[in-house]
Amino acid sequence: MNKAQLVEAIADKVGGRQQAAEAVDAVLDAIVRAVVSGDRVSVTGFGSFEKVDRPARYARNPQTGERVRVKKTSVPRFRAGQGFKDLVSGTKKLPRGGEVAVKKAPKGSLTGGVTVKKAVAKKAAAKKAAAKKVTAKKAAVKKTVAKKAAAKKTTAKKAAAKKTTAKKATAKKAAAKKATAKKAPAKKATTRKTTAKRTASR
């Protein structure tokens, strides 16, 4: 039985295929997240899922027979419950389709600290944190763009100021040249008059 067949098997009991698919996904996701975080997921009469650490060891490559060092790792482990074992071994008979094969959890055992609730809460917190990070990144990008735009404006203003200063300096030089040019003919005329007077007096 694969996942699709499992969904089909419970579709009638939970009110439709969509609801069944969502239920299966939610249960599997909760189990995986709990085991990854180091929690033990125990289902009465069915079994328990847990994370087990394997120490570093030596193994043999099946193709070459060479001895290989395997690093320390963690693996998931499932241990079947006694009720499940009894049903598989044939010690107990499997109930007919409409009955519950696995014992129901005793009253009060599902209150407080349920792993599924923890997993859902963690998932919601992770989504919020991711949304905050995205918002912060967008704000940072906007600030950077604004700073660059401000820097460009400042550079443009400085360039305009330099051009204005250069134009003023050029205008002053031109005015100074004109003034010098006007004075030169006047000096020449004065010199000529003085020379003519001296000649006349002789």
Per-residue pLDDT of the chain (202 residues; tens, 9 = 90+): 999 999 999 998 888 999 999 999 999 999 999 999 999 999 988 999 999 999 999 999 999 999 999 999 999 999 999 999 999 998 888 887 666 666 666 665 554 444 455 555 666 677 778 778 877 777 777 887 778 877 777 777 787 777 777 777 777 787 777 777 666 565 555 666 666 666 666 5
**CB 81 within 8 Å of CB 75:** no
**HEC assignment per residue over 88-144:** HHCCCCCCCCCCCCCCCCCCCCCCCCCHHHHHHHHHHHHHHHHHHHHHHHHHHHHHH
Structural domains of the chain sorted by starting position, each given as residue range(s) with its CATH number in brackets: 3-54+71-141 (4.10.520.10)
How is residue 54 written in tokens? 């394997």
